[in-house]
Structure 1
Amino acid sequence: MSQGRRHSRTRTGCLTCRSRKKKCDEARPRCAGCRRNMLDCTWPNYVAWDGRGQTDTMQPLPDVYQPDNQKSMDHQAQAEVSPSLGRNPSIYTGDNRACALTPHSVLLLGHFARETVSFFAMTPLQNNPLLTLLMPLGYMDDLLMHSLLALGGAHLTHKNPTNMALADTTRLHYAKLLGGLRGEIAHLNDNDMQCKERLLCVLVITCLYEIVSGNTQGAIFKHLHASRGLILSLLDHRSTRNTSSTVNCETLSFSIELYRYLVFSNTLTPHGITPERSLPLDPFLANIGKPEIALASSLEPIFAGTCGLFRLVPLISVMASQRLNEESQGLDAPSPNLARMGDDIYNRIQSWRLDYRYQEGDGDRREQINRVVEMIRLGLYIYLKSALAGSVISDAADLCTIQDHISQLFSYAHKVLASQYTAILLWPVVIAGSCTLIPEEQNVLLHEIYSMKYGMKHMAIVGDVLQLLWKDPDPRAYGPYGLHFIMQKHGLSVGLA
């Protein structure tokens, strides 16, 4: 067979299109092909010709399962962990089987401790429960350690997309995690509260993994439903018996706060409109500070004192669902009863004040937290106004009011989105982004999302979904209802964390 003529391939497209052997339109920061297929769009930092038509940014590492190849790890991956190793090398060695699963597991752990934990808690590193509470427990618990390693790996592999060894290691830890969860849940003794508390902690970390890894098929909600069952059982048992001797109260409190955060942050659409995304509004979601679920520390490491505002999110979500029901019955405007409920929630948003006991440090930190509070408050105003409008917002006055809130929110965004409070700001930013009609604001928001310093995959997916929303001509493609409309239309179920 005669060989056809060889054609030279472009070397100026993104790495993802090159690896898929697809033509790249070279649009930055995300090319059209990566946006369309919900893929990472990565670009080489440099091009180093090796004489064979390859660049060293595309060369994969040796087989991750061969210990002799550990010395061949690239310098970039080594740099991810070396600062932490230098401070305390002993924590990365020892007998923990999860940490020793592959030669590259240590890199995942180092990245988790150095960068990933900072994203998910609004406290200084020395008070971060992911680092100070869960990591020490992980050294005594392989299943928990697999969850931490998988989470750190999901973050690290997104930042190093051509490193196949790190990707393989992450997948292996995730497989061990799922296999262990299935086995332990299948054989769980209903009276074993200690095991339930431990599995709850692993499950909520698994939720974070599903989001950070870029899962768009709703895997997080399956884990959240399982977590809810464990929480209800633990709280019921704790209210009737003294379980302090068998349950780690500090871990339980943090797991419940993380569950709340995940439920509130992923309440983006009217309640119940997408059954698999909807979780029951249990009392423990709203009863902040009740003795049976009081946090061991009053700092609220995830919410930074804003949980009282966030607990209004599901209430507005229920109102949105009720408004859609009224709309289906032919009501062009909210009923008097629903309008009164809206006024009540508006007043609660407006009158809520941050308890400064939750703040630490100097005035700059206090000023940042105040900006965070205002962004969440504005996000709630936008969510409430759009919820009362129904599936299509046609009233010009409502649109103007929403746009004013969006402009105010974005005026704070550039000052705090690069801070340690990024995670709890994703919900108001996405709500505002779903409603903005101004192209300049859309472009600025996309730039902020795609260039956030933490570089997590789910942020890029959020940017892609917002672009789908903005480009869709259907009048329903607007606001929280529009997010539901777009996700249903494209078969997506996006998670925030």
Structure 2
Amino acid sequence: MPPDRRVQRIVRVRTGCLTCRRRKKKCDETHPICAGCRRNELDCRWPAPVPASRGPDHDQDAPVSTTEGRQPSFSEALEQLDEMAMPEGLLTQREPSISSSAGQSVTADDHPEDSLLHIEPCTQRRVSTATQSTVNADALVASFSAGNVLPRSLSLLPGYDSESYQLLSHYLATTADCMANGSTPINPFLVQIVPLAFSSDLLLQLVITQSAAHRAFRSRDESDTIAHNHYTKALQHFRRGVTDFIDGKESNPLMLLVGALLMCFTETAKGDMNGTIFDHLSAANSLLVKLLAQSDSAVPRDLKDFVIEYYTYTATVSMISIDARFSGQLFLNLDLEQRSRELLRTQYVGNLCGCWLELLLLIPCIFDLGRQWSMDDTQAVIPTADDIAMFASLQAQVLRWSPYPSVGPEVHLAGLIFQQAILIYLYTSLGGFQYSRDGMYRGLVETGVTEAMSYLGELSPSARINSGLCWPIAVVGSCLLDTEQQDCLRKRLISMTETFGLGNMHRTLLLLEAMWQLPASDAGPWNICRAMQQNQIWISFA
């Protein structure tokens, strides 16, 4: 019986043309066009001259050498990776590279089949929507061409080891699925973020850091040294990138902007309670403004839409953590708000904002309205005619909103939950959770709470859409006075934490537990920031 070929070492011809090597055909080495390429009418490509081989005592783990400061070509890298099977036909088009703000660029001038990332070919399948699903290779490969970048091998990057490869695998298989809410069949944390990560040392480090933080929290190991080391390294990369941008060494803010947003979600994964996410959000604000000032053709449309959604979602749900009595800070200025409203014209559905982007854009308006009525705790503020008109306008906008008919049942339910949470946020802006015993105000708030709890009861806590529901859960939970309802929400958050392993879900429960110990007069979403201050639990609910 012939030996099993699957276990044999793949032997490559080292002296033939690149085209024959890739096709695994014998090359007669005729220059400039070999007989095989001439016969098959193929582009006969030859490797660049290779420098003299290194001595046997040279450290094999050292970075690939370069001549005269140039980047090593793919052909040179292939000589060091003889045993790696390369997939055929990753890309059909060669594009310019995207440069990193804090690292090397990936050259796209080499042939696409010479990619250094081994991906098993797979046919006609989508990215799995299951929480623990395995990443589909076709969807990931397709994303490379969309991002105009080629993947790099981790083994060729100084500072990345096998542990980094494990963390990247964890991101592709688990973290990316947990971060997206499944509103669309395409996961932007794979399709948009991964190609950028393979073009930037900064973003690759941040992706690995996010994965490390997520893995550490899932295992409940807050002393995970690997996660801490990667987090420290990510901060160093990010600071270096910011410094280069300020010094004018890097004019493209895209990589830094995505980096700042990835830092935000790293804090979400690790369950940060120190408010660090707000620093990253402030950095993302100025970078996004600069990016949007550039030509629309500078960044692919899908990527720009995702970045706008990414920032808008994080900024709006983070505003509830700000004490309206002392700060009028708005993370979403008018220009950014207008950019987000442009998405509404296309009935945009995203993996962060679902179909309720229109509702999220009302949060800054409600915050500004409530801030005017809560600036002075010593005396009641009488609403002006303009205040009453604004309140009525906001209420009408929330009530007439409805989920898009095209969305799935889980996204539809989540949209209704957000709608009730926004109504509660608006009603309680009138002056906290103060009401007469049998007044209409109390009835409006309690109706919103009852409706929201009913919708939550119809939605499984293991459904992916829950990854974006911490904000409405916190708003509704802050108004719960009934112990049975509190216990119901407690069990839900515990189940969500066990399913997704995201730290912000656990921190949301910690905050609500603290609020449930307060008297009824201190309940409601406008007291969430005060409970944060009293218990030193600074989270953003993103």
Whether the TM-score (by the shorter chain) exceeds 0.5 is yes
Q: Which residue in 2 is equivalent to 1:40?
A: none
Distance verdict in 2 for CA 1:96–1:253, change over 3 Å: farther
Question: Aligned partner of 1:247: which letter?
Answer: V
1:461 corresponds to 2:461: no
Alpha-carbon distance between aligned partners in 2 of 1:181 and 1:484, rounded to the nearest angstrom: 29
Alpha-carbon distance between aligned partners in 1 of 2:488 and 2:132, rounded to the nearest angstrom: 35
**SS of equivalent residue, structure 1 residue 288:** helix
Alpha-carbon distance between aligned partners in 2 of 1:177 and 1:113, rounded to the nearest angstrom: 19
Distance verdict in 2 for CA 1:304–1:99, change over 3 Å: farther
Q: 1:121-200 to 2 correspondence within 5 Å?
A: 121-123=180-182, 127-162=186-221, 167-188=224-245, 195-200=252-257
Cα contact 1:108–1:149 (8 A) shared by 2: yes
Distance verdict in 2 for CA 1:412–1:103, change over 3 Å: same
Deviation at 1:189, TM superposition (A): 5.5
Alpha-carbon distance between aligned partners in 1 of 2:412 and 2:243, rounded to the nearest angstrom: 46
1:330 corresponds to 2:379: yes
**SS of equivalent residue, structure 2 residue 397:** helix
1:485 corresponds to 2:536: no
* Aligned mate of 2:486, from 442, 445, 452: 442
Distance verdict in 2 for CA 1:468–1:104, change over 3 Å: same
* Aligned mate of 2:312, from 260, 270, 275: 260
* Aligned mate of 2:419, from 361, 371, 377: 377
1:233 corresponds to 2:290: yes
Distance verdict in 2 for CA 1:324–1:355, change over 3 Å: same
Question: Aligned partner of 1:168: which letter?
Answer: T
Q: 1:5-48: CA deviations, max 9, x gaps?
A: xxxxxxxxxxxxxxxxxxxxxxxxxxxxxxxxxxxxxxxxxxxx
Q: Which residue in 2 is equivalent to 1:393?
A: 434
1:419 corresponds to 2:463: yes
**SS of equivalent residue, structure 1 residue 496:** coil
1:116 corresponds to 2:175: yes
Q: CA RMSD in A?
A: 3.3
Deviation at 1:405, TM superposition (A): 1.3
Q: Which residue in 2 is equivalent to 1:224?
A: 281
Alpha-carbon distance between aligned partners in 2 of 1:410 and 1:429, rounded to the nearest angstrom: 9
Q: How many residues align?
A: 398
Q: Which residue in 1 is equivalent to 2:447?
A: 404
Cα contact 2:273–2:537 (8 A) shared by 1: yes
Alpha-carbon distance between aligned partners in 2 of 1:459 and 1:186, rounded to the nearest angstrom: 33
Deviation at 1:172, TM superposition (A): 2.1
Cα contact 2:424–2:449 (8 A) shared by 1: yes
Question: Aligned partner of 1:404: which letter?
Answer: T
Distance verdict in 2 for CA 1:187–1:334, change over 3 Å: same
The alignment-based identity, stated in percent, is 20
Q: Which residue in 2 is equivalent to 1:247?
A: 299
Q: 1:220-256: CA deviations, max 9, x gaps?
A: 11111111001112223x3xxx362x43443333222
State the TM-score, normalized to the length of structure 1: 0.72
Deviation at 1:114, TM superposition (A): 1.7
Which structure 1 segments of 5+ residues have no match? Answer: 1-66, 68-80, 360-364
Cα contact 1:323–1:334 (8 A) shared by 2: yes
Question: Aligned partner of 2:351: which letter?
Answer: P
Which moved further from structure 2: 375-384 or 137-146? 137-146
Question: Aligned partner of 1:386: which letter?
Answer: T
Cα contact 1:97–1:142 (8 A) shared by 2: no
Cα contact 2:355–2:411 (8 A) shared by 1: no
Q: 1:339-360: CA deviations, max 9, x gaps?
A: 2211110000011233335x3x
Cα contact 1:263–1:279 (8 A) shared by 2: yes
Question: Aligned partner of 2:488: which letter?
Answer: V
Alpha-carbon distance between aligned partners in 1 of 2:159 and 2:508, rounded to the nearest angstrom: 34
Q: 1:343-401: CA deviations, max 9, x gaps?
A: 110000011233335x3xxxxx2x2222112111100111111111x145132322332
Question: Aligned partner of 1:373: which letter?
Answer: G
Alpha-carbon distance between aligned partners in 1 of 2:251 and 2:369, rounded to the nearest angstrom: 38
Q: Which residue in 2 is equivalent to 1:6?
A: none
Q: 1:157-207: CA deviations, max 9, x gaps?
A: 11113596xx22222222221111111211216878863011101110110
* Aligned mate of 1:211, from 254, 268, 271: 268
Question: Aligned partner of 1:456: which letter?
Answer: L
**SS of equivalent residue, structure 2 residue 500:** coil
Alpha-carbon distance between aligned partners in 2 of 1:86 and 1:197, rounded to the nearest angstrom: 26
Distance verdict in 2 for CA 1:300–1:124, change over 3 Å: closer
Distance verdict in 2 for CA 1:304–1:280, change over 3 Å: closer
Of structures 1 and 2, the one with the larger relative CO (CA 8 A, separation 6+) is 1
Deviation at 1:446, TM superposition (A): 0.7
* Aligned mate of 1:350, from 399, 416, 419: 399
Counting helix residues as a fraction of each chain, which structure ranks higher?
Answer: 1
Alpha-carbon distance between aligned partners in 2 of 1:404 and 1:492, rounded to the nearest angstrom: 29
Question: Aligned partner of 2:538: which letter?
Answer: S
Distance verdict in 2 for CA 1:152–1:98, change over 3 Å: farther
Alpha-carbon distance between aligned partners in 2 of 1:163 and 1:316, rounded to the nearest angstrom: 37
Which moved further from structure 2: 112-121 or 171-180? 112-121
Cα contact 1:149–1:170 (8 A) shared by 2: no
Alpha-carbon distance between aligned partners in 1 of 2:444 and 2:427, rounded to the nearest angstrom: 8
Alpha-carbon distance between aligned partners in 2 of 1:158 and 1:285, rounded to the nearest angstrom: 34
Alpha-carbon distance between aligned partners in 1 of 2:167 and 2:217, rounded to the nearest angstrom: 12
**SS of equivalent residue, structure 1 residue 302:** coil
Distance verdict in 2 for CA 1:375–1:232, change over 3 Å: same
Cα contact 2:261–2:281 (8 A) shared by 1: yes
Which protein is bigger by CA-based radius of gyration?
2
Distance verdict in 2 for CA 1:156–1:205, change over 3 Å: same
Alpha-carbon distance between aligned partners in 2 of 1:382 and 1:376, rounded to the nearest angstrom: 10
Distance verdict in 2 for CA 1:270–1:146, change over 3 Å: closer
Question: Aligned partner of 1:279: which letter?
Answer: F
Cα contact 1:268–1:483 (8 A) shared by 2: yes
Cα contact 1:272–1:278 (8 A) shared by 2: no
Question: Aligned partner of 2:388: which letter?
Answer: A
Distance verdict in 2 for CA 1:217–1:282, change over 3 Å: farther
Q: Which residue in 2 is equivalent to 1:29?
A: none
Deviation at 1:279, TM superposition (A): 2.4
Distance verdict in 2 for CA 1:85–1:264, change over 3 Å: closer
Distance verdict in 2 for CA 1:382–1:193, change over 3 Å: farther
